């Protein structure tokens, strides 16, 4: 097959819908032109792409803040900025990365784009609500950023009271912004849940859904149940600041530790909002490139729900030194370990899937390999910090910073970038440069290691987090970490450039370039506006690699 040929000229019938119809509807990118057709679209794919653009922008912004922090930490005293500027920058880094990038990243970009296609639906259940979610996100992120930048918020992304109720910065407006962002999360989560329940194609049972759908479904449940708690907590903080109702302020009889309970009741499950979709991406990648079904579909699907459930009961391990009772600490320590068991089941299953596979080694697969190491190590250090007596030494030191960056960067960003490569052909109809992909992926990994391994050691040595100046004995590890951060940033920038180049000059993609059996690859090279010309009827599983590609197509078609 000629690589340059458009799929429309393809007489071979690789797309299931091309025999009957000679007049093709245009693909989603060309269906409607002009800025208006994008801004007012209700097509889940276009909304996904719009989210994509803005979320990559947020990642860049959060990354710039990270570099500023790391630059300041090159020397034990002032390097480039004052203490109050430093405090604002680490707050901005945390807020942007958590609320503006990480939480919406994979669900709102890849979930939006792929979930309906994967279950054979024309769109999400509530397309207008989906567009509303996008604009609510835009408003929320604008308010948050404007307040944090111009108002100079210096509380850290955790907003611990009573500091956040007493500092002279615009905590109130940032709280409003994050509240609005929460509404966007809830709208999207609701949409995904309803879509999964009601819009599965004819013949598709729950256990026929691709594993990515399970992951997004479990994530949506957490979003729907946990986000309101965050919203209400922020309302209480705002009321405490403005009306002095004395919810958390000890001078008025409030309890600052109550805030921590409420905050982590959201923010601990939020960790799984960030990592579960990444696990979904990994499941898809492993199966596609090993050309094998997962060694246990059931284990991966159920463990996603297990993590979503148990994740709600681990919040207390953030508070072992906050003055909670010993019994509480024991219970929360034990419950936290269950999350690790479910995650370990996934890791075993992915590794076992490789066994006797037929493995194509592509960029997404290399990202999977990094993920495997980083997530396993980061996850097990999570159990380590949930071990009560060890946490006493590690709590609020760089060890914890390193641990959650292993999960959030080593896990989620690795999977996000892996997904960006894996689904690049279906989203934009082009192929990226594999050689550049492998090169940038390797640089990302080493940049990451140099950034965060020294932070584990800094934490062991006792360097507290959020320190503007530090005892000089910590300096050389900080210098290594800063060097690594620049390498990581450079590698991610090159990755972006590689994909942008591919967008314009990449080879045209064929409809199923990876030879996958998953349902999203059964569409045209670039899906049409409503994904399928006729509603598909599914009579096979998403990982039926024993079927030939033609058979697989035949069992996905409308009859």
Nearer to another protein, 126 or 163 (CB): 163
The residues, ordered by sequence, that sit 6+ positions from 103 with a Cβ below 8 Å of its Cβ are 181, 185, 223, 270, 273, 274
In the complex, least distance from residue 366 CB atom to another protein, rounded to whole angstroms: 9
Nearer to another protein, 44 or 318 (CB): 318
Q: Judged by CB, which is closer to another protein: 375, or 532?
A: 375
d(CA 503, CA 296): 36
Residue 230, strand partner residues: none
Nearer to another protein, 190 or 359 (CB): 359
- Contacts by residues 23-29 (CB-CB < 8 Å, ≥ 24 positions apart): 24/524, 24/528, 25/528, 25/529, 25/533, 26/528, 26/529, 27/429, 27/524, 27/525, 27/526, 27/527, 27/528, 27/529, 28/526, 28/527, 28/528, 28/529, 29/428, 29/429, 29/526
**Of 200, 214, 203, 408, which is closest to residue 299 (Cα–Cα)?**
214
Least Å distance, CB 288 to another protein, is 13
Give the SS3 label for residue 75.
Answer: coil
Least distance (Å) between residue 156 CB and another protein: 5
d(CA 140, CA 137): 5
Look up residue 326 and give its two tokens.
């010993």
Task: Determine the longest span between alpha carbons in the chain, in angstroms.
Answer: 77
Residues 18, 52, 360, 209: is their CA dihedral positive or negative?
negative
Q: How far is the CB of 409 from another protein (least distance, A)?
A: 16
Query: Cβ closer to another protein: 256 or 527?
Result: 256
Find the shortest distance in angstroms from Cβ 294 to another protein: 9
In the complex with another protein, the residue whose CB is nearer, 163 or 486, is: 163
| Closest by Cα among 124, 282, 113, 297 to 208 | 297
What backbone torsions phi and psi does residue 5 show, to the nearest 5 degrees?
A: -75, 140
Residue pointed to by tokens 């500092």: 167
Give CA–CA dist 432/507, Å, rounded.
7
Nearer to another protein, 28 or 445 (CB): 445
CA–CA dist 482, 456 (Å, integer)? 14
Contacts of 431 (CB under 8 A, 6+ apart): 424, 425, 502, 506, 507, 508, 509, 513
What separation in angstroms does the CA of 372 have from each of 165, 346, 413, 447, 457?
41, 10, 13, 17, 22
* 438, two tokens: 């492998």
Cα separation, 558 vs 264, whole angstroms: 47
Compare residues 192 and 350 and give the one whose CB is closer to another protein. Answer: 350
**Please, what is the minimum distance in Å from the beta carbon of residue 339 to another protein?**
11
- Shortest distance, CB of residue 336 to another protein, whole angstroms? 9
Report in angstroms how near the CB of residue 295 gets to another protein at its nearest: 4
Closer by beta carbon to another protein, 33 or else 78 = 78
* Rounded least distance, CB 269 to another protein, Å: 20
What distance in Å separates the CA atoms of residue 71 and residue 89, rounded to the nearest whole number? Answer: 11
CB of 352 to another protein, least distance (A): 5
Give min distance, CB of 165 to another protein, in A.
Answer: 9
Closest approach, Cβ 372 to another protein, in A, equals: 5
Reported as type and span, the H/E element at residue 345 is: helix 326-354
Cβ atoms of residues 237 and 171 within 8 Å: yes
Nearer Cβ to another protein (23/389)? 389
CA distance 235 to 241: 10
Nearer to another protein, 7 or 545 (CB): 545
Residue closer to another protein (CB basis): 162 or 203: 162
Q: Exposed (0-12), middle (13-18) or buried (19+): which is 546, by Cβ within 10 Å? A: exposed
The minimum distance between CB 170 and another protein, in angstroms, equals: 16
> Among residues 231 and 454, whose Cβ is nearest to another protein?
454
């Amino acid at each position: 097959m000629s690589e340059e040929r458009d799929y429309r000229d393809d007489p071979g019938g690789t797309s299931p819908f091309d025999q009957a119809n000679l007049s093709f509807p245009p693909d989603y990118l060309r269906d409607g032109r002009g800025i208006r057709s994008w801004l007012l679209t209700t097509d889940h794919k276009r909304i996904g792409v719009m989210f994509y653009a803005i979320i990559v922008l947020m990642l860049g912004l959060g990354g710039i803040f990270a570099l500023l922090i790391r630059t300041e930490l090159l020397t034990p005293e002032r390097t480039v900025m004052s203490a109050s500027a430093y405090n604002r920058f680490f707050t901005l880094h945390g807020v942007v990365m958590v609320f503006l990038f990480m939480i919406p990243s994979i669900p709102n970009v890849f979930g939006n784009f792929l979930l309906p296609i994967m279950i054979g639906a024309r769109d999400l259940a509530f397309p207008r609500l989906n567009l509303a979610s996008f604009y609510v996100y835009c408003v929320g992120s604008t308010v948050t950023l404007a307040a944090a930048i111009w108002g100079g918020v210096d509380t850290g992304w955790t907003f611990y009271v009573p500091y956040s109720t007493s500092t002279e910065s615009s905590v109130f407006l940032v709280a409003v912004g994050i509240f609005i962002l929460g509404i966007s999360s809830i709208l999207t989560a609701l949409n995904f849940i309803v879509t999964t329940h009601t819009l599965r194609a004819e013949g598709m049972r729950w256990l026929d859904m691709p594993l990515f759908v399970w992951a997004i479904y479990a994530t949506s449940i957490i979003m729907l149940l946990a986000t309101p708690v965050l919203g209400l907590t922020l309302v209480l903080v705002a009321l405490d600041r403005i009306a002095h109702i004395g919810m958390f302020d000890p001078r008025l009889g409030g309890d600052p530790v109550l805030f921590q309970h409420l905050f982590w009741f959201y923010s601990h499950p939020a960790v799984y909002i960030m990592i579960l979709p990444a696990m979904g991406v990994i499941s898809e990648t492993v199966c596609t490139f090993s050309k094998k079904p997962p060694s246990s579909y059931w284990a991966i699907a159920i463990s996603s729900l297990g993590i979503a459930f148990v994740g709600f009961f681990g919040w207390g391990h953030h508070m072992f030194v906050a003055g909670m009772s010993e019994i509480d600490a024991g219970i929360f320590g034990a419950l936290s370990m269950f999350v690790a068991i479910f995650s370990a089941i996934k890791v075993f299953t992915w590794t076992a899937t490789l066994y006797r596979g037929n493995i194509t080694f592509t960029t997404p697969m290399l990202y999977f390999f990094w993920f495997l190491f980083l997530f396993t190590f980061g996850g097990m250090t999570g159990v380590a910090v949930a071990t009560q007596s060890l946490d006493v030494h590690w709590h609020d030191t760089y060890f914890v910073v390193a641990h959650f960056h292993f999960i959030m960067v080593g896990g989620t960003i690795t999977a996000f970038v892996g997904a960006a490569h894996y689904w690049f052909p279906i989203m934009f109809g082009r192929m990226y440069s594999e050689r550049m992909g492998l090169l940038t992926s390797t640089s990302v990994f080493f940049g990451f290691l140099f950034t965060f391994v020294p932070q584990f050691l800094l934490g062991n040595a006792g360097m507290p987090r959020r320190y503007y100046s530090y005892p000089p004995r910590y300096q050389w590890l900080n210098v290594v970490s800063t060097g690594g951060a620049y390498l990581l940033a450079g590698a991610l920038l090159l990755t972006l450039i590689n994909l942008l180049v591919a967008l314009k000059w990449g080879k045209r993609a064929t409809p199923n370039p990876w030879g996958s059996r998953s349902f999203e690859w059964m569409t045209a090279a670039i899906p049409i506006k409503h994904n399928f010309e006729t509603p598909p009827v599914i009579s096979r599983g998403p990982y039926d690699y024993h079927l030939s590609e033609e058979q697989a197509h035949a069992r996905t078609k409308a009859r």
